[in-house]
Structure 1
């Protein structure tokens, strides 16, 4: 029933949405939580209560498809690799060659793009895996330390570990007693009768071998029947549930022994005690039956048939006869092989191979006649003549064979050389004179003749050789060597130059490597001038201008590795002539002369170097140092004065001059030089050296004044703060030293040594917590610095907190996983049984780090593996020659296990390399009281502090 509303009220209460259709999906009352109900009469029999009524307020219905279009079914049976599902857009189009070619092109492009991104993708994946493993390590990694600790468990502790019981299996926990079933009477009777089993020997058995074999067969038959009876009875006993006893097993063993005795007795003679069968003849027959060839017999037969077919088809084919003979030789039929090869010789009398094979297969007494037949058939065969001489034993017979051979084949160089080797020098000279006439194109014969002749005749021989062989360089080089051995050094260069000109005129290709090899051979023969002449003439062959320096430096290094010092010196000489202003070449040549030359040559080279390159201050310093070490101090001063003229206010030259005066006790002159240097070339290093000189001379107040002035000028120089703090510590003014170090780390927060000195100062004053805090601050400002972590670990070790030290080491290795100094310390933090595993991990991370190699050598030393430890010390030195700690530990090792010669070897190598780094080494070398000590003295002092590893 509708209610009528007055018009005035309608106009006032009417909303703007009244009379408009409801939005799609709108259901009245849903927003305020109202729910309704429907009945069957409302929706009809074909709808459910949850269906949305088809009104204008509901969602729009889907459009019906056409009748001829089927509904798409995404079924795997309807899927095609190229067309997709059956209802796809291109399912009805054919897949032709153009589509296939297009797909190949797209796949190629995809593969190319994927290959370009492969490295980046693999690197990103690897980083993700490493990050994931660090956050979530494997179980085996988490328990690796516990597994290593299992090696400490003793056998008693292992035995005391209780067995794990299974609560669900009562039979295992409450084992019942073992049950036995009694044996039947028939089983016992059978076993008793089996134990009494025997066989009698018939007297007729002794009549012969056949009777013996028949007796063996009958006995074996009886044995088998007996065993069969026993087996049947045994099976019946098992089926009946009876078990065997120890007595039965003993009787079975006795029965077996009796049967074996019967078998042996039948073979032997019971009367005479001698065996009927001859063991030696029997073994000989067996040996003759064993084939020497281990292959298949059918393969041998097939090979025989094939080779027989080849021989019959073409008997003039020597390889078939040779192959047939070798086949028979392999299978052990040597006589058949000999017959075959001789038959082949009859068919092929002009074949060298078949005659040589026949000689090889026959014994020496027969081979001579075969060789004679071969020579008659092939009188000009060099190989057959050489074989004929080879089978002769007497030297005279050999010479006769060779002379006959040379009559038949006078142009064979092989025959001439073989004949000459058997002769005395005088006879060899005569033969060579004839040989060069017959074989004028053989360089070897000409050179051999020249070596046997006198000087004048040798020159004539070489001149004749050049006329006959104008394209061989060895004749020219032999002439140069000849002139050098006679002292005609001025002729060597001329001959080499004429050789190059003549060979070029005869269109001979110049191979640079061959000439350089000839230079090395000349030096090995003692002809250094010839070697240097060759180098000077051919070094620039086929070398571009821009590649000369690099190529020649490689040549010099190659000659040095081969031990050809004269050749290397000649290379440096050529380089210095053509590149006189190159500082690097002068330095390389100077180092070479220092290592391989004498002091006079070294000083002469440096004099030339300073003249050619006067602005290279390193050359001046090397020259002054060489003169100073030679004892000529005054000349060294003059050289440094000249160096000042060409390199005004050079800091290195100032330092060298100061060191020269201070080392020779001229302290006042050193002070004046430093004062002039502070005015003319001021630098933090000059001020530091000035203060250090005063500190070393004991003038601490003057040193502090200089350092205070220097800090005002160079506030960012950390070494100034270090020296000031150490002087104050030496005077016992720890509070002032703390202030200096604190100010230093504020100005120079990235100086690790300052942080470490501050921490050690706090530790010396029993302020361990403050020292730990300072190191923590240093690590925050300088992350991933291994020396700070190392100091933190050692601080905890000195404090006695090993657990804290292990924790610091674990964090340090996570942050600096490739630090060799941390891994070397980690090895010795482990217990004795865990050091080997830790050293293996360290070598995997830092294979070429000197600290890790030194720690490994010390570990082998502690295990008393002397030979291996010495090898690892050697390896550590090769990796880093500037590591002084390695020399200290190595010398201590040799003092314990080596000889005085090996100790001297370590000291000499230390003096040669003059190391400057290393924690133990710098402890003594940087000590102001040792400022005038040599490397050997510092080595001895540091070695005394080294402890034998245990």
Structure 2
């Protein structure tokens, strides 16, 4: 029989012999191309040729039966496809399965079993939790009706017998009987056939419709359709009449009340009904297991209350009260749930628990009449005479005289109550109050409130000598009785005493306790911190007492005298400040600031001779003192005594020729209008102190006033050579050139100044504004970016970026500025102006307050704030800003010093300068 020729179908393609089969014995890959195989020493051992490949390296080829009639065709079915081996089956399906493979499979299987045992408990527990969670979210039908099934045990036998038969759906007779009972409406064809035409009003009685409408037949025996319609209308009228009033169109049905009734039918609890049922069952089990457990009854009643079953809640809580009559919580819950029967319930409660304070107080609260409340409290005090709470509640309802009688009885029943003793002492007269407090100290020797009250009592009677003695005795007595003296507690008592008006008591407490528990080396630092703490709490008398004690301990400390003087200036009177300064200069005569503060206080009060006498004493204590010389000159010049001021300056120049004295001398002549004399003094001053920059600035400004531009420029140039690090000199020289229209020279001056003074924000800002004023905005922006690279934390430059940007970008620039310089006053002022441009007045006022709080010496901020209040604020707010500015006495800024130092404004007060700077400031846009 001849062999069949190979077919061309895909399923019959012959499988290649070498695919998926082991290599023949002695096969070396690539040996035909001259390649040689290689082995490792672990494979062949020592002294073996590379080409001598042993036969045992490859397993014997598997035996296959080859039949010429039956050829192995490749199976291309999808079920035979393998991801790695293709349609030929598994990658290792043709390899032999030897003992090593079997041993490896056994080891892996043992490892898998071991790992499975470790994870089995966790897996089973997790599976159980997931099942329980799933069943809670989607319970079975049998779980949903478990409560109904449990309720079937209470069904009686008669109820069981009265249940109708359901019937068997497989019974053909029952099914046919139900089908016969169904009503099938007549088709339209029957109605059409019975109607004779469109105007027909009767139906043929033989059609079967007449039986449905008895009494609706016509005399001819037909069914009258008109009567059917009339009967229907009559029935509708009857129903409408039942719900309508006699007034036409007015209904007696209250729609709001109807909706309210519907709302009352809706349960207030929105949780799952299954959770309610489970909770109810659990609580019932708890009640049955331990009926004497009051929280179970309370929880059950509250569950019913939450679900809207208020009556069931009341019944439950009353049942609990019957079973647990000694639980006051149950009785209080019953009173809360039943307001209508609250008095009866509370009456039963106090009968069962006559010693319960809460029940008696609740009984008094339920009474509306004042006499009834008093009666309840007195009845309660008969049962519980040692209850402080009941005594206090009863006393609060009485008049002062009756309250005093009650308190006298209360302290007998409750001798350890400090509050009752103190309340009785307040109602008694002075003599009786002293006796009461003495008895209180005998009964309660460990309480400080009794001693402090006794001190206040003596202070109120004017016995000031006894106040300090009582406080000292109290500390000694309490320490003797083993009471720990807490310094902070006593200082708090001092603050409370000051707020109650007992100033002497608070001072005595501070004096007695201030040094308690403080080391000698820490006294000064600790006391100053206490004074600051009292000042922040507005306890000024306590702070004054601390300063007084500190000055007694350290009379020669200049810093304490200065702190005390500043405190008196801010929170005291002029007399107290002057008395303190007199003591200060007596102990510290070398302290120039204390002398000047005393002279200034007298001068502000209008007592110029007293100020002169203080300064003369200061001269005696501090000869040749620059500060005192200048203060005397200012005093005379402010009071129009110019000749005396000139004589003083002449003496000062001869005895103490300091640069500042020389500058003040030239400035006085300049302010008085004698410019030539001022220039002469400046020239001699420059010869004595050539490195003092203010001489060159004043000389240049005077030359500018005389229109001598070249001389002014020469003066500024000389100053910049001598004092190259003086930024104001460079700025004045640049502005002089800019005012003469020489922008190129001004630009070169600023560039040279930046080379001499690197990383200086003022010089960069002046150059940026110069370019911006000339209309070169792109150059100004580029220069600003370069300036920020050199001075990245300059608030002056960041504030300039806000208003140099376009309006949509200003907010973003302000945020960047705040990130870089959060507490810089220039940035805060720029943000305030930004809110001003956006008409956000509240935010603007808030940011202005923040600015002046951060830097009270920033005059431009005060002027801008005042201008804002002039435009958008009330007169009260304007006056408040002005008052705060005068108190702060600002001196720095961009525009403020320029206005304040003008010769014509040399006698202007801070209030006048504030107004002038506010007028000069433009409104931000």
Q: By the TM > 0.5 criterion, same fold?
A: yes
Given candidates 391, 407, 421, the residue that maps to 1:446 is: 421
For residues 573 and 494 of structure 1, what CA distance do their matches in structure 2 show?
A: 19
For residues 896 and 850 of structure 2, what CA distance do their matches in structure 1 show?
A: 19
* 1:611-646 residue CA offsets vs partner (Å, 9 max, x unmatched): 111121111111111112222222222222222233
For residues 462 and 849 of structure 2, what CA distance do their matches in structure 1 show?
A: 45
SS in 2 for 1:272: helix
For residues 303 and 260 of structure 2, what CA distance do their matches in structure 1 show?
A: 24
Q: TM-score, normalised by structure 1?
A: 0.70
| Aligned CA distance change for structure 1 residues 275 and 869 (closer, same or farther; 3 Å) | farther
Q: Aligned-residue CA RMSD in angstroms?
A: 2.8
Alpha-carbon distance, 1:601 to partner = 0.8
For residues 264 and 365 of structure 2, what CA distance do their matches in structure 1 show?
A: 33
Count of residue correspondences:
698
Q: Where does residue 404 of structure 1 map in the other structure? A: 379
For residues 890 and 312 of structure 2, what CA distance do their matches in structure 1 show?
A: 77
Alpha-carbon distance, 1:405 to partner = 0.6
Q: Where does residue 343 of structure 1 map in the other structure? A: 319
Given candidates 904, 910, 917, the residue that maps to 2:885 is: 910
Would you say 1:801 and 2:801 are equivalent positions? no
Given candidates 459, 471, 483, the residue that maps to 2:446 is: 471
Given candidates 903, 912, 923, the residue that maps to 2:898 is: 923
Alpha-carbon distance, 1:285 to partner = 8.3
| Aligned CA distance change for structure 1 residues 273 and 512 (closer, same or farther; 3 Å) | farther
Given candidates 391, 398, 402, the residue that maps to 1:416 is: 391
For residues 538 and 408 of structure 1, what CA distance do their matches in structure 2 show?
A: 44
CA contact (8 A) 1:515 1:538 kept: yes
Q: Where does residue 248 of structure 1 map in the other structure? A: none
Q: Where does residue 333 of structure 1 map in the other structure? A: 309
Given candidates 640, 664, 667, the residue that maps to 2:642 is: 667
| Aligned CA distance change for structure 1 residues 65 and 763 (closer, same or farther; 3 Å) | farther
Alpha-carbon distance, 1:393 to partner = 1.4
Would you say 1:720 and 2:695 are equivalent positions? yes
Trace 1:301-700 onto structure 2 (pairs within 5 A): 301-364=277-340, 366-700=341-675
* 1:841-871 residue CA offsets vs partner (Å, 9 max, x unmatched): 2222222221222222222222222222222
Deviates more, 1:866-875 or 1:602-611: 866-875
More relative contact order, 1 or 2 (CA 8 Å, 6+ apart): 1
CA contact (8 A) 1:385 1:401 kept: yes
Given candidates 844, 847, 852, the residue that maps to 1:872 is: 847
For residues 840 and 269 of structure 1, what CA distance do their matches in structure 2 show?
A: 77
Structure of greater Rg:
2
Q: Where does residue 815 of structure 1 map in the other structure? A: 790
Deviates more, 1:900-909 or 1:278-287: 278-287
Would you say 1:764 and 2:728 are equivalent positions? no
SS in 2 for 1:919: coil
For residues 843 and 408 of structure 1, what CA distance do their matches in structure 2 show?
A: 69
Q: Where does residue 134 of structure 1 map in the other structure? A: none
* 1:314-351 residue CA offsets vs partner (Å, 9 max, x unmatched): 21211111111111211122222222212211221222
* 1:129-157 residue CA offsets vs partner (Å, 9 max, x unmatched): xxxxxxxxxxxxxxxxxxxxxxxxxxxxx
SS in 1 for 2:325: coil
For residues 313 and 903 of structure 1, what CA distance do their matches in structure 2 show?
A: 76
CA contact (8 A) 1:269 1:275 kept: no
For residues 797 and 309 of structure 1, what CA distance do their matches in structure 2 show?
A: 87
For residues 767 and 346 of structure 2, what CA distance do their matches in structure 1 show?
A: 89
| Aligned CA distance change for structure 1 residues 288 and 730 (closer, same or farther; 3 Å) | closer
Deviates more, 1:469-478 or 1:799-808: 799-808
Q: Where does residue 901 of structure 1 map in the other structure? A: 876
Alpha-carbon distance, 1:942 to partner = 1.6
| Aligned CA distance change for structure 1 residues 823 and 275 (closer, same or farther; 3 Å) | farther
For residues 695 and 627 of structure 1, what CA distance do their matches in structure 2 show?
A: 28
| Aligned CA distance change for structure 1 residues 271 and 336 (closer, same or farther; 3 Å) | closer
| Aligned CA distance change for structure 1 residues 832 and 383 (closer, same or farther; 3 Å) | same
For residues 388 and 358 of structure 1, what CA distance do their matches in structure 2 show?
A: 13
SS in 2 for 1:292: coil
Q: Where does residue 861 of structure 2 map in the other structure? A: 886
Flag as ranges the 4+ runs of structure 1 deviating above 4 A.
64-69, 213-216, 268-271, 273-289
Deviates more, 1:402-411 or 1:935-944: 935-944
For residues 528 and 314 of structure 1, what CA distance do their matches in structure 2 show?
A: 62
For residues 286 and 799 of structure 1, what CA distance do their matches in structure 2 show?
A: 79
For residues 761 and 913 of structure 1, what CA distance do their matches in structure 2 show?
A: 33
CA contact (8 A) 1:684 1:717 kept: yes
Q: Where does residue 272 of structure 1 map in the other structure? A: 236
Alpha-carbon distance, 1:738 to partner = 1.3
CA contact (8 A) 1:741 1:757 kept: yes
For residues 354 and 543 of structure 2, what CA distance do their matches in structure 1 show?
A: 53
SS in 2 for 1:463: helix
Alpha-carbon distance, 1:907 to partner = 1.6
Alpha-carbon distance, 1:776 to partner = 0.8
Would you say 1:291 and 2:267 are equivalent positions? yes
For residues 421 and 633 of structure 2, what CA distance do their matches in structure 1 show?
A: 66
Would you say 1:732 and 2:707 are equivalent positions? yes
Trace 1:42-61 onto structure 2 (pairs within 5 A): none
Deviates more, 1:657-666 or 1:758-767: 657-666
| Aligned CA distance change for structure 1 residues 733 and 214 (closer, same or farther; 3 Å) | farther
SS in 2 for 1:776: helix
Q: Where does residue 102 of structure 1 map in the other structure? A: none
Which consecutive unaligned segments of at least 5 residues does structure 2 have?
Answer: 1-32, 36-40, 47-181, 189-228, 244-252
| Aligned CA distance change for structure 1 residues 329 and 635 (closer, same or farther; 3 Å) | same
For residues 887 and 503 of structure 2, what CA distance do their matches in structure 1 show?
A: 28
For residues 370 and 603 of structure 1, what CA distance do their matches in structure 2 show?
A: 72
* 1:378-423 residue CA offsets vs partner (Å, 9 max, x unmatched): 1111111111111111111111111111111111111111111111
Alpha-carbon distance, 1:441 to partner = 0.8
Alpha-carbon distance, 1:669 to partner = 2.6
For residues 918 and 264 of structure 2, what CA distance do their matches in structure 1 show?
A: 73
For residues 215 and 832 of structure 1, what CA distance do their matches in structure 2 show?
A: 81
| Aligned CA distance change for structure 1 residues 215 and 308 (closer, same or farther; 3 Å) | farther
* 1:815-848 residue CA offsets vs partner (Å, 9 max, x unmatched): 2222222222222223333333322222222222
Alpha-carbon distance, 1:457 to partner = 1.0
| Aligned CA distance change for structure 1 residues 794 and 285 (closer, same or farther; 3 Å) | closer
Alpha-carbon distance, 1:754 to partner = 0.8
Trace 1:87-102 onto structure 2 (pairs within 5 A): none
* 1:755-795 residue CA offsets vs partner (Å, 9 max, x unmatched): 11111111122211011011111112222211111111121
SS in 1 for 2:691: coil
For residues 813 and 676 of structure 1, what CA distance do their matches in structure 2 show?
A: 50
Which consecutive unaligned segments of at least 5 residues does structure 1 have?
Answer: 1-44, 48-63, 70-212, 220-264
Trace 1:238-277 onto structure 2 (pairs within 5 A): 272=236
Alpha-carbon distance, 1:368 to partner = 1.5
